[in-house]
Chain A
Amino acid sequence: MAVISYRQALHDTLRAEMTRDEKVLLLGEEIGKFEGSYKITAGLLDEFGPKRVRDTPIAENGFAGVGIGAAMLGLRPVVEFMTLNFSVLAFDQIVNHASKIYTMFGGQTAIPIVFRTPGGGGQQLGATHSQNIEVWYAHLPGLKVVAPSNPADAKALLTTSIRDNDPVLFLENLGLYNTKGEVPDDGPEVPIGRAAVAREGTDLTVIAYSRGVNVAVGVADELAKDGVSVEVIDLRSLRPLDRETFCKSVRKTTRAVVMEDDWLSYGVGAEIAASVQEGAFDYLDAPVRRVAAAEISLPYAKPLESAALPGADALRKVIREQLDATGMRSKS
């Protein structure tokens, strides 16, 4: 078992899948000669040639749709968007075509395509480049949406996604690319639609995904020193959503906090809070709380941006309030 970065895990997986299956090809802006904006595809053009590693023009809707058509004829394209923000230009092809074609044509043609893209704020890129709009895609039946939080999952879920016959939006995170972790050589398969217990606990459940999982685990480790036992659920897939796993956890701990990077209103947390209400209401000792981004287009200035994004401080505060409100005093 090697310790490698999230970036390396993604790179290795692309390489392994391209080696295994000739039908896998890569499409995207600057993924070849430039080796990818975040270097996930470094070296792949040299190894596999321009037929399989295709630099596209700046035409997100065009090349996303080109991937869809190629998938209809049996290829397995992995399309890279430089960031989630630019996938908005391809919204028509993802929303109206990739996610609908299988159902709309009566199950006659599958679309085995992966749209890979980093998301996440915190890089001082301003309002248009810092959006966590994963929930726009998670809202769509027909599309699968996964968001790995660690290198092992990045490898396992990308493998599953490439081999899956449905369109998958594969959400990476700028803040995670350099994080390291153990990645098994032949890891267990991670199916799409299954959450994981990232850390076990008994007093309160934090439900998170992607970067938020790491924040939550950090806070949970800290609070353990105060005698508070926090369980962290890593959703891994935003669609389908594994409601069973987090409801089961909440039934055990009786308290729930959602940690999400997106905006509060209509966000991932809204869906989870509603699901907890439906699946664990009788067990709840307190209303579900949500820790989300401030509802504002993200500013460039560092203090403002930091204030707007949810982090360990906000999560710690909400967990403490949750515990205090339910008679389980946490030291502060």
Chain B
Amino acid sequence: MALIRAFELRAQEMYQRAKIGGYCHLNLGEEATVVGLMSALRAKDYLFANYRVHGYAITRGLDPGEVMAELFGRTDGVSGGWGGSMHLFDEGVRLMGGYGIVGGQLPPATGAALAIDYEQKADDKSDAVMCLLGDGTTAIGAFHESLNIAGLWNLPIVYVIINNGLGMGTTVDASSAEPDLYKRGAAYRIPSTRVDGNDPDTVRKAAEKALKSAREDRRPYLLETTSERLKGHSVVDPAKYRTDEENKELKENDPVPLYRSTLIKSRAMTKKQAQEIDDEAERIVDDAVAFADKSPSPKPEQLFDNDYSTAVAGAPKQMPGDPLITF
């Protein structure tokens, strides 16, 4: 949690210093959810995420330097500089991508679960898929289409609604006719529950139960976690739609200091150890930035390196201004 916090604050700073371009959506305020979910996944499980993906990538085991390098658009980035903040991908840790189109990840995640079902028996050893989405995404047709198919075909997938209360500036009650989002599982006979996303232990337990149901019973599961986005929708959003009172409450419910004091109070950790963890997180993030800074930018000559997986006759590879036909 400390590392995600440090990473995201630094990402914000790097964006403000124009090292990072495009959109940049942070997990600030969602650290407990991220850690709870990721600690429940096994190494062989597949993760499909939306565009708010930095914390998940790091917690899933990706090198923070390579994640930062992707945000910087460098060759050592996890997607080679092609994806940026929203499109982190690494097959090695089975992070099957962050997706910038709201709801776009839902059908492919469901298809990944189909592939698992196609090749593996339903038992404790089988893999599972976790698909993350925001509260606002439950209004998209792909949500309905995917859950219906997963329920119909008994696929090993856990959909997690990260309910941070807002889709950009729109509250859940203003976008969903059923604001108890987890209840939507009932429409597809998919078991579902809502848990406090500010408590990593609760999230982990719920996610483990959901994943077990997916891999052993081949029943998809719909898990809703409640937390709050500490800042705006993306780095450039000043979140003016929030009142002073709401901002005060956000601070009081901030899961990072809350969990830290819980651990200290229960003597699981000393104050000194907490400080050491924070210091270590800062060091890792310093190194990540240094690594990203040193990584070269991709060269224009590399533009067509990833156009097709199976090379094909006649694929135009001309640069703007080049003649198309040169024979």
Contacts and interface: CB of A to CB of B under 8 A. Distances in A.
B252 interface: no
B101 A61 contact: no
B307 A103 contact: yes
Question: Secondary structure at chain A's binding surface: helix, strand, loop or mixed?
Answer: mixed
B23 to A, nearest CB: 14
Band of interface residues on B? 35 or more
A165 B312 CA distance: 11
B175 to A, nearest CB: 19
B169 interface: no
B323 A66 contact: no
A87 to B, nearest CB: 14
Contacts of A111: 309
Given A57-B149, A63-B149, A66-B110, A108 B91 contact: yes
B325 A166 contact: no
B315 interface: yes
Interface string B83-98: 1000101110000110
Contact of A68 (B82, B107, B309): B107
Tell which of B46, B113, B307 has the most Cβ of chain A within 10 Å.
B307
Interface in B100-119: 101, 104, 106-116, 118
Interface stretch (A36-44, A121-129, A190-198, A312-320): A190-198
A242 B314 contact: yes
Interface stretch (A12-20, A89-97, A176-184, A205-213): A89-97
Interface residues of A, number: 59
A98 to B, nearest CB: 9
A244 B313 CA distance: 11
Interface of B: 46, 48, 77-83, 87, 89-91, 96-97, 99, 101, 104, 106-116, 118, 141-142, 145-146, 148-149, 152-153, 305-310, 312-316, 323-325, 327
15 contacts: A59-B149, A62-B107, A63-B149, A65-B106, A66-B149, A69-B107, A70-B112, A75-B114, A105-B83, A106-B80, A107-B80, A108-B91, A240-B312, A243-B314, A278-B323
